[in-house]
Amino acid sequence: MGLLDLPLELLDQIITLTLPSGIENFALASKVVYTRAASQIQRHNSLKRQWNHAIITRENSLQTLYDLSQEPLVAKYITSPTLWGEEEPDDYGGPPPLDSAESKVIERTVKESGYLQVAGVDADDWFDKMEERMHETRVRDGHDGGLLYTAVSLLTQLPNLKSLALWPGWADAPLNNPPSHDDSNLLAAVLNALVQRANQDTTALAPLAQLEVILPFMRQGYDERAGLQVLEPFLRLKSLRELYAVSCLAVDDGYTGIPFQWTTADSVSQLRRIELAYCCLDADGISTLVSRTPCLEVFRYSHETKWHGCQHDWNPGAFIEALARHCSETIIDFSLTVDELFGEIENGASTFLSFKRLLDLEVDVLIFRGPPLESGQRRGEVAIGPAPGQRDWAEVDIPCVGSMLPPSIHRVTINSDFPDPDKQALEALLKNLKQQRAERLTSLEFILVRDAEDARPFCERAGAELEVFDAGSIGKTMRPAWKRAFAQRVGGIEFT
């Protein structure tokens, strides 16, 4: 029996079952199907507009849970939600009350989640915590942590997530390893149950099983910080391909930093792209993160000194070495820039030769302005001077950038502050560039210097291109091209 031979009532049921992902193609099967599907297509388009990019906040989160309970199809339309809405006042006491019938429906929906049972979490305890959190005021640094339990309950209902933007209050998620207080056990247990099921579900019907992109959930700023650890459960998802983050830390200094650890010995991330803007990671932090990212191809990072001088001095030389130790065979696109550094460059970049497949590189001159690791010297608060018989390292000793690059390189961009403080360092980087291009870098398409017009003579002598940059309109931290592309990709960066 052909499709058009079916009773119309049965055809209508089939059309309904194609919502949401299949109706657009199915409706084109024939004129009859298209005509019968007209009302469902209208409904489909309405649900897409309302729910695809839903903004879910503490104010409307309970209502959203209620809506999902009344119309389960809605959950399938939520693909790219953001939990970061309008900021609530410091004395915000929770969302508007629902009537008793609606509240009971929400309670039943939450408590009947199979993930609480799988996680070994008492459903009554979970719901009590959720209610308690929803009606408390801000818990730390202006970050609203009231949505934590409700957000996780929502995640258990959403099977078609493609991207996810959390909210600044997620920084308060107690997911440190080992757990720091009681909430850790509950939240981590349910998140781990979600991740485990998503990784096992070959049909991609489980919540989080299709999640590919994590978007920023923090603002930029010296006092803005979230441990990268609060994203660790998501990083273990087999489906996840891209991570974009702002103001995240992975530093274990016992005071100003927040360490990062993988929570299971066999954790492996399928990330292809990591972009971290206004973040604060040291060599150990980045080493731990990328030690489990065997597929990483794009890595872009900008460094910012954080709260109480976290990473006041920074070591890009050790940072690059740590990255190369784990990802030298896979990275093809690498950016390393500096947003704000209060102290000194402890050890500067001196080689990218380990990155054998590298095609694109964008760097700030500042990352080279410290003695290389191999010199044995170090600047900063824990400085190490020259050995007996050696002289103190100086910026004239920076090698030609061409000698640092692998033969695979195609495009290089150098961001510079000319003439102060980068004139001497830029001149050192560009020396012998023509010779290096002729002898080694046969695939190199261009080296572009992004700086003031005054740098043109240096660039012309070296055979480099100059792109004149005016920081007045957007600020120096947005000078790197990768940062502007980042802002466009994530829908903008919120500054403090």
The verdict on residue 115 lying in a domain is yes
Query: For the whole model, what pTM was predicted?
Result: 0.92
Nearest alpha carbon to residue 115 among 186, 33, 38: 186
Q: How many domains does the chain have?
A: 2
The verdict on residue 114 lying in a domain is yes
The verdict on residue 296 lying in a domain is yes
DSSP, res 176: -
pLDDT of residue 177: 53
Please list the pLDDT of the chain residue by residue as tens digits (496 residues).
Answer: 555 555 656 655 565 665 566 555 655 555 555 566 566 666 767 778 888 899 998 889 999 999 999 988 889 989 999 998 766 555 555 666 677 888 999 999 999 999 999 999 999 999 999 988 887 755 444 456 678 999 999 999 999 999 999 999 999 898 865 444 456 688 999 999 999 999 998 676 899 999 999 999 999 999 999 999 999 999 999 999 999 999 999 999 999 999 999 999 899 999 999 999 999 999 999 999 999 999 999 999 999 999 999 999 999 999 999 999 999 999 999 999 999 999 999 999 999 999 999 999 999 999 999 999 999 999 999 999 999 999 999 999 999 999 999 999 999 999 998 778 889 999 999 999 999 999 999 999 999 999 989 899 989 999 999 999 987 778 899 999 999 999 999 999 988 7
Are 127 and 207 contained in the same domain? yes
How confident is the model over 356-398, as pLDDT tens digits? 999 999 999 999 999 999 999 999 999 999 999 999 999 999 9
CB 81 within 8 A of CB 56: yes
**Which secondary-structure segment (H or E) carries 196?**
helix 182-200
pLDDT of residue 474: 82
The verdict on residue 423 lying in a domain is no
Residue with tokens 């915000």: 92
Are 46 and 128 contained in the same domain? no
Residue with tokens 């695939």: 443
Q: Do β-strands 465-468 and 333-340 pair in parallel, antiparallel, or remain unpaired?
A: unpaired
For the chain, how many residues are written?
A: 496
Are 28 and 105 contained in the same domain? no
Q: What interhelical angle do 148-155 and 123-134 show, nearest 10? A: 130
Are 12 and 106 contained in the same domain? no
Q: Which domain holds residue 147?
A: 61-383+472-490
Are 15 and 87 contained in the same domain? no
The verdict on residue 164 lying in a domain is yes
pLDDT of residue 360: 99
CB 257 within 8 A of CB 249: yes
Are 115 and 213 contained in the same domain? yes
Are 291 and 229 contained in the same domain? yes
The verdict on residue 328 lying in a domain is yes
DSSP tally for the chain: helices H, then strands E = 19, 12
How far, in Å, CA of 182 to CA of 263, rounded? 17
How far, in Å, CA of 492 to CA of 185, rounded? 34
The verdict on residue 289 lying in a domain is yes
Which tokens sit at 35? 């005509």
At which of 33, 51, 69 does a domain end?
51
pLDDT of residue 99: 76
Residue with tokens 């957007």: 474
CB 159 within 8 A of CB 209: yes
How confident is the model over 119-130, as pLDDT tens digits? 999 999 999 999
pLDDT of residue 180: 46
The verdict on residue 308 lying in a domain is yes
Contacts of 184 (CB under 8 A, 6+ apart): 174, 175, 176
Are 38 and 151 contained in the same domain? no
Are 47 and 65 contained in the same domain? no
Are 278 and 379 contained in the same domain? yes
Are 239 and 299 contained in the same domain? yes
Are 167 and 249 contained in the same domain? yes
Contacts of 225 (CB under 8 A, 6+ apart): 171, 218, 247, 248, 249, 258, 280, 306, 307, 310
